[in-house]
Amino acid sequence: MHPITVLETTTCAAFIMILFAIAFLVPKKNRKLGFITVSSITIIVLSFLLIRPFWIDYQVSIKTEQLDHFLKKKYPNQEWEIGHQTGRQYNPYHLRVQFENEKGWTYTYSVVDETNICQNTWTPPEGSLPKEGEHFELNQCE
């Protein structure tokens, strides 16, 4: 498990334990309502922690399709491979593209929606300048 995930889970667990302790300390006539409230919060937090990775994967698949469509319009008759860096420390919505006709180069595109796609970083092979790339774009993302 990634350290960020461990930190998030531990923080949520501590928060929920504190809420249960507070609910236990509430006067007896309101204790049942306190436990119902804390149980509801627990279910919401657990649902969020369980659903979020699947939601991000779903969004990444949509953005990958949008980028593929964008690249088909911009670079017809070319082949490429789209991927993304895995790990919690990386933005899952920054997609890496490697073109078949340009080995060693990696371009990273930021995909906000189908109309707002831009190249934000590029990694040339050692000894090359960014402007030497066939697919190098000098545009700023908003």
Q: How far is CA 117 from CA 62, 68, 111, 123, 138, in A?
A: 13, 11, 5, 18, 13
Would the pTM of this model clear 0.95, i.e. be above it? no
The pLDDT, as a whole number, for residue 140 is: 63
* Higher-confidence position of 128 and 22: 22
pLDDT at residue 127 in the model:
75
Give the residue among 105, 107, 132, 133 at the shortest CA–CA distance from 120: 107
